[in-house]
Amino acid sequence: MRAINKNLKYYLTRLIENNISHSELTEIVQLSRSIIQSYLNCIRTSITQLCTHQGLTVTDLAYDCIAEAFIKDDQNKFPKIENFIKSLNNNLEEIPETDLFFAFKQFTICFADAQIAQLYSQIDPNGAKIHRNLRDKIKISDYLQLAKDFRGIIVKPINADSLNHLEPFPIDELELELRNRLNHLPKTPEFIYELHQILTTQENYRRSVALIEITKIFKRIYQQELELVDDEFFSYEGLTEFEIERIRMQVELALKEKIFLTYFAKGKVSRKEAEALFDALSDILIDWCNGFESQASLFGYLKKHIQINEETYESTLRPKMEYMLKIAREEFAARLMKDL
């Protein structure tokens, strides 16, 4: 371990001096990959589906995770490595070797978490929305809090013994308990409260559960009802107005491309209908970003931009608008997860 730490300080010094050889760069990348792979192995059960879906091994995923940290700028420097070194409490020459190693480990894990979140959002946009919403609501909860351990991000009660000496709470049993308590449309505050009650009123298992497992439970319980709920899962807490506007414009661009390539270019709608579809969906996006509730009827949005009766809408444009709305949700979820 001590030799690795010495090498790490040497490599980082050479990096910021822009005097590192190709073989030395390869060695620090391999060291970083081994750190990430060790982290991924600790949460292997929650990334198995992810790797399988993407056709990756854990080693492949580890390299993908760390690639962002070693991006060069137009001056052939490593800005993210330089920012990491500037963030250290001591100068690179003075920092203890062990402290440097653990700081660098945390630095690399941040890139892994971001990459994993992005990939999850691609294969499961609905789950990504739920994950983000639960995370944001728990951050301000009076009952539960977030923490990190070998499982990744975990959920545990506030001001309660975690009972970490006990075995993990069986996920099937936890899900059954929640199903027995929740029998209405998904409301995150109630879900959080009931989860807190279950964890704190038992003494047989640990009082902490991985957030990814909580997300899966929420999704399984409310699979059908989730299609009826629109905006609760779009939480913009922690994002600036500029970031929200940037996401909206990116989603608009994706929708415009899909509408005109999928429908207009193939003669399935007229130009006027294509433009009306886009304008109506843009109005919905604006309402989402401003925190307004969407109108009950998609027809209400569409008729502001084109003269059309409800019968024609039902027979020709409703399926197309519903499909594009689904695309909009998925695009929003993917981009929100990228800004975690």
Q: Among the three residues 69, 88, 123, which one is the final residue of a domain in this structure?
A: 123
Res 42 pLDDT > 80: no
Q: Is 21 in the same domain as 119? A: yes
Range of the domain at 200: 129-228
Identify whether residues 262 and 317 lie together within a single domain.
yes
Domain annotation covers residue 144: yes
- List the alpha helices (DSSP H) in 68-210: 79-87, 97-123, 125-139, 171-181, 188-200
Q: In what order do the strands lie in the sheet with 209-210?
A: 144-149, 152-157, 209-210
Between 46 and 212, name the one with better pLDDT: 212
Residue 267, classed as helix, strand or coil, is: coil
- 140 against 240, higher pLDDT: 140
Last residue of a domain, one of 92, 123, 154: 123
pLDDT tens digits, one per residue of 66-96:
888 888 888 888 888 988 898 887 788 888 8
**35 in a structural domain:** yes
The reply to whether 233 falls in a domain is no
Angstrom distance (rounded) from CA 96 to CA 113: 26
- Any domain includes 276: yes
Q: By mean pLDDT, which of 8-17, 163-172, 217-226 is the weakest?
A: 217-226
| Same domain for 278 and 193 | no
299 within some domain: yes
194 CB-contact burial (10 Å; exposed 0-12 / middle 13-18 / buried 19+): middle
Give yes or no: residues 312 and 267 share one domain.
Answer: yes
41-63: average pLDDT: 70
Does residue 106 carry a pLDDT above 90? no
Residue 52 lies in a domain: yes
Q: With a cut of 80, say whether residue 45 has pLDDT above it.
A: no
Say how far apart CA 219 and CA 175 lie, in whole Å.
Answer: 11
* 235 inside domain: no
Give the SS3 label for residue 97: helix
Q: Say which DSSP state 294 is in.
A: P
Instruction: Return the pLDDT at 37.
Output: 86
Please name which of 226, 231, 218, 212 lies closest in space to residue 182, comparing C-alpha atoms.
Answer: 218
55 domain residue, yes or no: yes
CA–CA separation, 86 and 316 (whole Å) = 58
What is the H or E stretch that residue 35 is in?
Answer: helix 22-42
Asked if 204 and 167 sit in the same domain, the reply is yes
Q: Does residue 172 share a domain with residue 111?
A: no
Q: Do residues 116 and 174 both lie within one domain?
A: no
How much is the pLDDT for 5? 41
- Looking at residue 233, its pLDDT comes to 44
- Identify the top-confidence range among 50-54, 120-124, 151-155: 151-155
- 206 with 248, same domain: the answer is no
Domain limit, last residue, from 73, 94, 123: 123
72-81, 207-216, 224-233 — most confident range: 207-216
Instruction: Please report, as a single letter, which amino acid is at residue 227.
Output: E
Residue 175 has pLDDT above 60, yes or no: yes
Check whether residue 218 and residue 267 sit in a common domain. no
Q: Say yes or no to pLDDT of 251 above 50.
A: yes
Residues 214 and 246 grouped into a single domain = no
Q: In this structure, what token pair is assigned to residue 184? A: 């209405």
Predicted local confidence at residue 295, as pLDDT: 55
Identify whether residues 170 and 94 lie together within a single domain: no
Over the stretch 253-276, which tens digit does the pLDDT of each residue have? 889 888 988 888 888 889 999 999
Q: 20 and 118: one domain?
A: yes
Q: Render the burial of 126-145: b for 16+ CB within 10 Å, e for the rest.
A: bbbbbbbbbbebbeebebbb
Nearest to 115 by CA among 162, 158, 66, 156: 66
Count up the domains in the chain and report the number.
Answer: 3
How far from chain centre, in Å, is Cα 220? Answer: 18
